[in-house]
Every structure is written in structure tokens, then in C-alpha cells.
A and B are shown apart, each in its own frame.
Chain A
Amino acid sequence: MEWETVIGLEVHVQLSTASKLFSGSATQFGAAPNTQANIFDLALPGTLPVLNESALAMAVRFGLAIGAHIGKRSVFDRKNYFYPDLPKGYQVSQLDFPTVGKGQLTITLEDGSEKVIGVTRAHMEEDAGKSLHEDFHGMSGIDLNRAGTPLLEIVSEPDLRSAKEAVAYLKKLHSIIRYLDISDAIMAQGSMRCDANVSIRRRGETEFGTRTEIKNINSFRFVEKAINHEVRRQQDVIEDGGRVVQETRLYDADRDETRPMRSKEVANDYRYFPEPDLLPVVIDDAYIEAIRVTLPELPDARKARFISDYKLSEYDAGVLVATREMADYFEQVAQATGDAKLAANWVSQDLQGLLNKHHWDITESPIQADRLADLLKRIQDSTISGKIAKTVFEAMLDDTASVDSIIESKGLKQVTDTGEIEKLVETVIAENPDQVQQFRDGKEQVIGFLVGQAMKLSKGKANPAQVNELLRAKMGS
């Protein structure tokens, strides 16, 4: 039986405002429990919400970035349910009139082709607090620091057809959000969270199958694993003659499986209605345009520019624009050196390799863009060879001295003194009479061997071009 997978993602992103969506409490990650929960966040009677202007601006920023319809009149609603981490007994969200309407983004598939994924909507809402299940004598502890932190919930169309597409979509979303600087979007810290709606159907069918919602997926890797697991589970259910039940399932990363959530057993009736403590949020064209002009160059546009301006390959450009910081880094090096190809190779290979090895983010790199540019300039002016440069690069990790003084102090400077090179060449000619004779007999490729011998003798410091030239001169070709 051939199955088609249908996936839609609901991504919650914590907007990186200083204060909460409706109160003046701080939103710092990792504060001691309940030290960032004021009287409004605790839902003390008589307290009232006032909307944070930055949260609204960030939502609009996102909407513009995905070419979405911006709601000129958005309305907050109350979503009613009881849970200890939800102090008011309702979550303020947006149901019928979200700030961001239909938009889209483009993902690149493994074969290099592109696919447009629809975004249904993105609405603002409050985050909930956290329940801590460590044992307090059979009780749970409630920390409300996170309660009221602004969230943007981004809902995709069910346009994704595999776990890999889902991951590509999520990474693209992450990239755009980071470019816009509207969220830290760190999945491990919960500032970006993903719920996946998954269903399967026989290929060729037009109706969707019954879907399940998988919650608690907190890394890109788990998105793929959780979806794949759920797809297999649904296939097994159907192939065993059963039916998929519409339910919410929790992904357990330790066991790599999903299981039904007990607390959601009874179908919820959220009783949405317009939040009467808030008025409609109305924005005009001037407001939207003022935000539009502040939008940075986004990954797709930047990639296109890298290809046309720097003559980079599709692949290199794609790697370099993945994060705004990486692209900025690359551009700084490319501009300082005037050699985009060289910069691209070093950033996407040597630097990226280093970062991967140490699990560093580019912002954590011990080698800043200006220092890498200094290093590449020394390759360009033949002070060092490309090979020696890799040694210098390694040394720069622990040594904060300038590139030049590292080269100097380690004695890595390329030998360009004609006298010294002459001595090297004479030694090589004397020690390899057979090869010299072969060369003189017209075996051109032997020159490579002889240059290599000279380089070895110089411990790599001799300028290979100069060696080549002198060898030929001395051997009288």
C-alpha cells in the first residue's frame, strides 16, 4: 500500500520583548520561580491587560516578511480552560481576526527543488506558566514567570508531505525569525515550540485522513523522528484494520514514541469570545509601511544576491544565508578581502567545521570576521600558503594576538627570498639527479615532484610559484 503523509505545523515563537504581552513584568529566561510574575500575571482580581506595542510590531514584521495579509483590525479573544499554569482560567489569544493572515514561504527540498508552503495565519497570544512535577509530597509546583510572555503562533497549511519537508519548513521559519530578530527561537529553551498535525491517506486520495496532534517536540531532530514515528503508527493502525483516533499525543524523546495525553481526554470546549478587557487593535497603512521599511534583507533575497554579486554556487549561497549572522560574517570577510570565493570556502568549510566540532553558534566563534579576513589577506599577498593558513587558523583559536604576529612568532612566513630559495632548489637538484634527468628528457610532470621536495625541505614555507620558476631556470628548460 502506498501512503501519502500530510503534515501541518503549529509553531509557537516567544517574541523577544523586554516585558510581557499585557504587563510590565520581565521576560528573562531562567529567572528564579515566580520572580517575574506580578499582580496581573498572577491574575489577581481587578487587574487588567494593556497591549505591548513591541509585540504588535514584531507580529506585523513577521507578517510582512512572509508576504502575508496584515489584519488592520485584530481582535483578542478569551480561550477558556482550567489549568494551574493558566492563572486567569483563560488564555488571551486571537481567533477570528488575527494580526497576520494568509502568507507563504519557500522551502528547498533535498533534490534542490523549491516548494511553496502556505501559512494560514499567525496570531498573538499569551504563553502559560510551567508545572514542575518534581515531587513536592505528591504535589506539583507552579512557576508563572513564563505566564503572559508574548507568543506568535504560526499555523501552516497542511502542505507538508514528509518529515523532511516539515524540518525544512521549520528551519526556514527559524531563519526568517532570526533575520527579523523577533525571537531567540531556541527550541531547547522553549522559545520556539512545534506541534505537528499528522495524518496519512492513500496516494491519490483527495480527502484528508483523521489527524493526530503531536505536542512536546523540542528539537529539529525530534520533529523528524516524532513525525516518522507517528506516520508508522498510523499506518500500522490502518493496516491492522483499525481507525486513527483524532487526539493529542505527546512525543517522548527518550523512548522515541508518541502516546496519548491523559489531560486532554475530554474534548475541550474553549468557549472563545471577544476579550472585553481589550479593545480592537487597529493599525493603518502608515503604521505598516513604517515597519516595512525597517525589514532586513531576508534569506531568499540575500541568497539571490550572493549568487549574482559574488558568483557563489547555489549550494554555497544557501549554506551561507542560513542564518543572518553567518551571512553577515561571510559578507564582512568577502568585502575585506575582495575575494568572495576564497571567503565562501573558508566560512562554509573551515569555519563551519570548527563550529560544528565545538557545537558553537557563529556568534560564539572565537575567530571574528575581521581576523579571518586578516588571515586570508596573507594568503592573497603570498605571505603564507593556503596550507600554512590552516595552521595559523588553528593557532588563532587559542591565541588572540594579531594574525601577523602569530605568523611571525611561529615562523610560518613564506620564504620569498630568492637567495634562500635558490639554495633549496640547488639542494633538490643535487639530491634528485634521476628526476632532473627525466625532466630534461621532456617528462614535464616530474616538476611537481621536485617542487614538492623543495616545499618539504622548507617546511612548507617556500613560495611554490617561485620554487617552480627557479627549478625550471636551473634545470635549463
Chain B
Amino acid sequence: MIEKTVAELSAALASGEFSSVELTQAYLDHIERHNATLNAYITVCAESALAQARAADAARAAGANNPLLGIPIAHKDIFCTEGVLTTCGSKMLHNFVSPYNATVIEKFNAAGAVMLGKTNMDEFAMGSSNETSYYGPVRNPWDLERVPGGSSGGSAAAVAADLCAMATGTDTGGSIRQPAAFSGITGLKPSYGRVSRWGMIAFASSLDQAGTLSKSAEDSALMLNVMAGLDMKDSTSADKPVDDYAATLNDSLQGLRIGIPRQHFAEGLSPEVEKAVRAALGEYEKLGATLKEIDLPNNHLSVSAYYVVAPAEASANLSRFDGVRYGYRCADPVNLEDMYKRSRSEGFGDEVKRRIMIGTYALSAGFYDAYYRKAQRIRRLIKDDFSRAFQEVDVVIGPTSPHTAFKLGAKTDPVAMYLEDIYTIAVNLAGLPGISIPVGTAAGLPVGMQLVGPDFAEAKLLNIAHQFQCHTDWHRQKPGALGKEA
């Protein structure tokens, strides 16, 4: 039963085929068996999960029947969960039991979802391989020698390996879409402001967005129905009507105009990935869509601009980790400065420190205009590129990542790692919704394809992704590595 999609599980629970307690126990057993190998979870909440499952079964017996009632979920360890360890993948928060819930957590709790635990991630979501976690790397269930992508690598691996039915993630520069691509699942980053950031530990405030990692676009729609919406506690949360994302999944794609950005099919793209993506585009043509080449002329500047904006915001966002009110404090500080410097140097990993340094430098006196303001201007150019494209097409489609999952330890050079996100980063800078869906394999590893829509066009994106999944079964492919490990 654990391999089923949320939509299928929901129907099975509704028909009484099995109970939420049975389902939850099945996931817990599977986690017990495989988490040591995958390292997808930092914390497993067996007891509270079973209690939530019992409550869901009781609610169902009393007549409740919402789509996520009793469905087991995993949450990225970036979401604050009351009474549960919330580490953000960092030693800095190795002892942080959050006293409050993120809005996203509250919403899933209210919908009756069962929280199995908290998933591993790159430290403070800074990474594209899940190797920067204080809790160790996550392994890709398709090939245990490979990374699952990052930073939501634990959530991606957990969904791919059926260690949960669905998972939350966050995406600042590709952190949902890229691990979804590497792990052969569906990953949706909604428009900036669609989902509340309250209780989501900030990396880069103007880029961060919570989203979904799931086994199908339909499941993402069911999740987004729960997550989306205005939150008065988050000034940047959007006051826009929330669609019923499941209602339009089956709309026809006849006449759909797809834009193919030349810059996403350029040098550096692996031929196998290109082949799979082009085949998927052919599939859309069969469904009545037309393809049109478009330009995103400033795309090549997105990584540069991102590595100013994100570290600058992060350098300030991470100043609160000072060893005073919570979290890690170094042993026996000799004075105040020593407490700050050692707590932060011992509590943060190398990549986090590097980005704090870059951000601090970019904001420091004399460099602000050359770096931060310049990056914001480029951000405008990038947003304008997309706005122009969306005057001609309904959706922009290309590869999610230039290649499939790489080997653990293969990328030691930070710059090489940063360039991993060359197709995804511009979407965050522009605040647009994007989704990655599996569209094939290359040498036994999943290939992801990214669909990008205009502001708040999540319903349309999910419709387009779902239609592909109705006519193909790439999203049904299962990783094989776990069977072979022992």
C-alpha cells in the first residue's frame, strides 16, 4: 500500500480498505528498514504519528472525509514543529525543540495528515546535493552512491523510496525541483507568497517558498489545496484567491502554447537529458499543444545575481544564531566576542559560513551598489524576460537540471555546485511557480523536466503536468537500489 499515490490512498482510506493506523504503521516499518541506508529522516515521530493516525481514523468514523485525512506526510526539517526537534540540518539547532508550529504544519495538522517525521536537508537549505547536512548526506534510492539532490533531499528520497506518501519541501533556488528531478518524483515550487513562510526557517526571505514533493501532480494539487493561502503572520504572503487545484487537472491542453527557452537547451546540457525532455515535449504536441522557441536572454546572469541576493539576505537571517536565546553555544566562552565567534563557527558548517561571508561582503560599505543593487537590477531584467515570454506562451518548459544525479562527493568546488541550479534559479528570482516532473531515465537514473508558469498559475501548471502523467507512466517508475543493498 505504501507505494500508492495520495489520491489512491485517500480513496482506499475512504472505502475502508485499510485504516490510517495500518497505513502509518506500514510507513514506520519501511522507515525502520531503510532509513539507516537512505538517511532521509533526521527525526521519526512514531508515537505521535500513530496517535494522529488513530485520531484520523476516529474522525473518519465520525463522518470526516477530507482528501488528506489520515495520509502520512514527512516535513522538511526547516519547518518549525511544536514539541519536535527542528534542526534545519545544522549543529546550530541540534537541540532546538520548537515551541511553535509553522503555518504549513498547522494547515496539514488541521487537514488530518499524519506527520511521520522530519526530513534531512542541506544545512539551512544551502546546497544542491544534501551533502552539507550536519546529519550526514542522504542517499539516492535509485543509486545509493549518488546524491538525491538538495536541499530538500531527505523529502525527495523519502517520497521516492515510499518512506512517506508525500512530503513538504522548500525552494530558494531549485531546492524542490532539482531533488524531485534527481529522485524521479514530482516537485512543485509555488509562486512567491502563495504559501506562508511563518515558521519556515529563513534562508533568503525574498526567494524562499514552501512547496510539495509527491508521487504525482495530482498529489501536489491535493497538497497545495491545503498549504496555499493568505497568512496575516507573513507580510509577504499573497492576498490572492486560492484555486481548487484539483478541479482543473483534467482540462484539455488543446491549443496550449509551450515556450522552449533556447538558453535551457544550450551548452552543458547532457544529451540524454535533452532527449528525454524533447520526447516529453513531443508527447505534449500529441495532446494538442504547440511548441515555440523563446528567449530568456538574461538567464546566464541568474546564478551570479542569485549568489549575491541569497547570501546577502542569508547573512542577516542567520545573525540570530548567536548562542544567546536558543541553539548551540560554544563551551566556556572567555568573553562576548569569543562566544559569538566560536558558537557560530562551531555551529555552522563550511558552506553556510561561506555564504554568510559572501553576503556580508556584498553588503559591506563600498560594495553595496556594485553587488546588491546590481543584482536587484538583474533580477528585474530576469523577471521582465519571463513577462515577455508569457505574452507569447502559456508555459515555459525545459530540463530541470543539466544532468541526472551525480555521485556523492563528486562536486567539491562550490562554484560547480552552484551552477547545478542554472535552470531553476531564475524562477525564484522572478518569484514564479515551477514544477519538475519525471520524464524518462538516462542510464537508469531519472530525468526531470521543469514547467514554469506566470505568477499564481499553479492550477494551470498542475493541469499541464497531470495531463502528461495521465498519458505516460514515468512518474510510476520506482527506484531499485533499496532492494539490492543488503
- On whether A47 and B198 interact (CB within 8 A), knowing A269-B365, A273-B312, the answer reads yes
Query: Which of A47, A80, A276, A278 has the most chain B CB within a 10 Å cutoff?
Result: A276
Chain B nearest CB, measured from A334 CB (Å): 49
User: Is A46's beta carbon under 8 Å from chain B?
Assistant: yes
User: Is B199's beta carbon under 8 Å from chain A?
Assistant: yes
User: Is A82's beta carbon under 8 Å from chain B?
Assistant: yes
- On whether A279 and B320 interact (CB within 8 A), knowing A47-B198, A269-B365, the answer reads no
Q: In the complex, which residue of chain A has the Cβ closest to the Cβ of B366?
A: A269
User: Is A89's beta carbon under 8 Å from chain B?
Assistant: yes
Are B99 and A89 in touch, CB under 8 angstroms? no
Contact residues of A between 43 and 97, Cβ < 8 Å to B? 43-51, 78, 80, 82, 84, 87-90
Q: In the complex, which residue of chain A has the Cβ closest to the Cβ of B199?
A: A46
Which among A43, A48, A87, A90 is the interface contact of B198 at CB below 8 angstroms? A48
- On whether A46 and B102 interact (CB within 8 A), knowing A87-B325, A279-B235, A279-B236, the answer reads yes
Which among B98, B198, B234, B320 is the interface contact of A88 at CB below 8 angstroms? B320
Chain B nearest CB, measured from A173 CB (Å): 31
A-B contact count (CB 8 A): 102
User: Is A359's beta carbon under 8 Å from chain B?
Assistant: no
User: Is B164's beta carbon under 8 Å from chain A?
Assistant: no
- On whether A278 and B235 interact (CB within 8 A), knowing A45-B88, A46-B201, the answer reads yes
Query: Which of A48, A49, A277 has the most chain B CB within a 10 Å cutoff?
Result: A48
Return chain B residues, CB-CB under 8 Å to A47: 198-199
User: Is A250's beta carbon under 8 Å from chain B?
Assistant: no
Are B320 and A45 in touch, CB under 8 angstroms? yes
**Complex-state Cα separation, A142 to B318, whole angstroms:** 20
User: Is B162's beta carbon under 8 Å from chain A?
Assistant: no
**Complex-state Cα separation, A80 to B316, whole angstroms:** 7
Chain A nearest CB, measured from B335 CB (Å): 10
Are B201 and A271 in touch, CB under 8 angstroms? no
Return chain B residues, CB-CB under 8 Å to A447: none
User: Is B41's beta carbon under 8 Å from chain A?
Assistant: no
**Complex-state Cα separation, A41 to B3, whole angstroms:** 44
User: Is B200's beta carbon under 8 Å from chain A?
Assistant: yes
User: Is B93's beta carbon under 8 Å from chain A?
Assistant: yes
Are A82 and B312 in touch, CB under 8 angstroms? no
Which among A45, A48, A80, A88 is the interface contact of B233 at CB below 8 angstroms? A48
On chain B, the number of residues with a Cβ less than 8 Å from chain A's Cβ atoms is 44
**Complex-state Cα separation, A279 to B199, whole angstroms:** 18
Are B100 and A42 in touch, CB under 8 angstroms? no
User: Is A39's beta carbon under 8 Å from chain B?
Assistant: yes
Return chain A residues, CB-CB under 8 Å to B233: 48, 50
Q: In the complex, which residue of chain A has the Cβ closest to the Cβ of B102?
A: A46
Q: In the complex, which residue of chain B has the Cβ closest to the Cβ of A81?
A: B319
Which among B99, B204, B365 is the interface contact of A44 at CB below 8 angstroms? B99
**Complex-state Cα separation, A276 to B340, whole angstroms:** 24
Are A276 and B319 in touch, CB under 8 angstroms? no
- On whether A271 and B363 interact (CB within 8 A), knowing A46-B202, A48-B197, A87-B325, the answer reads yes
**Complex-state Cα separation, A49 to B197, whole angstroms:** 11
Are B199 and A277 in touch, CB under 8 angstroms? no
Chain B nearest CB, measured from A461 CB (Å): 70
- On whether A45 and B93 interact (CB within 8 A), knowing A82-B322, A273-B316, A279-B235, the answer reads yes
Contact residues of A between 261 and 292, Cβ < 8 Å to B? 269, 271-273, 276-279
Are B316 and A89 in touch, CB under 8 angstroms? yes
Are A277 and B201 in touch, CB under 8 angstroms? no
Are B363 and A273 in touch, CB under 8 angstroms? yes
Are A271 and B80 in touch, CB under 8 angstroms? no
Are B325 and A90 in touch, CB under 8 angstroms? no
A and B contact pairs by CB, cutoff 8 A, 15 listed: A44-B325, A45-B321, A46-B100, A46-B102, A46-B197, A46-B201, A48-B233, A50-B235, A84-B336, A87-B325, A271-B360, A271-B363, A272-B363, A273-B363, A276-B205
What residues make up the interface of A, taking CB atoms closer than 8 Å to B? 39, 42-51, 78, 80, 82, 84, 87-90, 142, 144, 269, 271-273, 276-279
Q: A44-B98, A87-B320 are in contact. List 11 more A-B contacts (CB 8 A).
A: A44-B100, A44-B326, A45-B93, A45-B202, A46-B80, A48-B233, A80-B316, A271-B365, A277-B202, A279-B235, A279-B236
